[in-house]
Copies of this chain bind each other. A is one copy, B any other.
Amino acid sequence: MDLDARKLGILKAIIDEYILSASPVGSRAISKHEGFNLSSATIRNEMADLEELGYLAQPHTSAGRIPSDKAYRLYVDQMMQKAALSDDEIKIIRAHMSEKLDEVEAVMKHTAQALSAVTNYTAMVLPPMLAANRLRHIQLVPLREGRALVVVVTTAGFARDAVIRVPEDMSSDELERISRILTERFYDCRMDHIGERVASEMGGELYERKAFLCSVVEAIERKIEPETPNVQLSGATNMLHYPEYSDMNKAKTFLAAVEGRSMLYEMLKRASKLEFTITIGNENEDEMFKDCSIVTATYQIGDEPLGSFGIIGPTRMNYGKVMSVLEYMRRSLSELLSSELNDE
């Protein structure tokens, strides 16, 4: 059931054309395509075959053919050529990323913006998951009556904070003391191991403050994997430019789904196990995205994957371009995060 060279060529031509035009492509268009010297009738025969094999579909008799998800899968796996980024595109990315970025949140936001600006699709970025980071500092800062702010800082320069309760009898000196002890004791400990370590090392001078320490640790653990999905989103409205979403209801459901973030969060989390993923149309589990394709990549510090980001577009997206952009971004984001944040 695999295709001969000619069928492949025709299929590729159809897909390329459809990606550009978004409207069913007919036999005539392909027969005029450079390279083939075949009449439209011949192409028609081939197209009928391709349709039988499930690679093409017809919206209705007497329309051209459009590629099926199966066709896109084949295209992505075997015939797509990555499109190198143009100078202009690189300039766009640079413009977004070269601003003064002294905070991780800002980096994430600008990454999303750069991605959506350069691809014209919808971009999403999952901020770093701190699990694999190592602790650098813990600070307890007393606030008003019975409250304090826990601040944790990790090796890579990420800070998280949370308000916690403090026993009434605890002085601010003692909070300072505890901060110092915790920092010392757990310096360079993986963030996701702090919980167990604290549990096992609760003895000694810390024992009497057990309950309090537990609440501190719990607060920290909540921050490792943000429960409030903090996914950065950009260019959701780009989708409205594409004829696929000229139907108001489709547009509405798409935007609503995306605004909720939580689906994106799940997808990105799942995807952060693999360097790249491409999910086409029906391969998506969410009903919502059955006619979208989603391409993701991970970024990392050293070898440790930190988080991921991706592009959502119509199945008819420009896969070649998108892949190149993600590759480029993966590299620059990883560099940016491991070597330095732009403080100048």
Contacts and interface: CB of A to CB of B under 8 A. Distances in A.
A248 interface: yes
A155 B163 CA distance: 12
Given A237-B252, A248-B248, A151 B163 contact: no
A34 interface: no
B103 A163 contact: yes
Nearest to A257: B237
Nearest to A246: B248
A248 B255 contact: no
A145 B85 CA distance: 33
Interface string A70-114: 000000000000000000000000000000101100100100000
Contact of A106 (B228, B234, B341, B344): B228
Interface in A31-45: none
B252 A163 contact: no
Contacts of A159: 149, 151, 159, 161
B255 A240 contact: yes
Interface stretch (A11-19, A134-142, A263-271, A313-321): A134-142
A269 to B, nearest CB: 19
Nearest to A227: B100
Q: How many copies are assembled? A: 2
A121 B259 CA distance: 14
B228 A255 contact: no
Contacts of A343: 147, 162-165, 219
A306 B29 CA distance: 62
Given A163-B343, A165-B344, A155 B143 contact: yes
Given A143-B136, A236-B259, A237-B255, A109 B228 contact: yes
A42 to B, nearest CB: 40
A48 interface: no
Contacts of A228: 106, 109
A252 to B, nearest CB: 5
A149 B155 CA distance: 10
B162 A102 contact: yes
A157 interface: yes
Contacts of A275: none
Nearest to A342: B163
Nearest to A103: B162
A240 B236 contact: no
10 contacts: A102-B163, A103-B161, A139-B139, A147-B341, A147-B343, A159-B159, A163-B340, A165-B344, A240-B255, A246-B248
Top-8 shortest CB links A-B: A159-B161, A163-B341, A102-B162, A137-B141, A237-B255, A141-B153, A102-B163, A240-B252
Given A139-B153, A143-B155, A162-B343, 15 more contacts: A102-B162, A103-B162, A109-B228, A137-B139, A137-B141, A147-B157, A147-B343, A151-B159, A163-B340, A163-B343, A236-B259, A237-B255, A237-B256, A237-B259, A246-B248
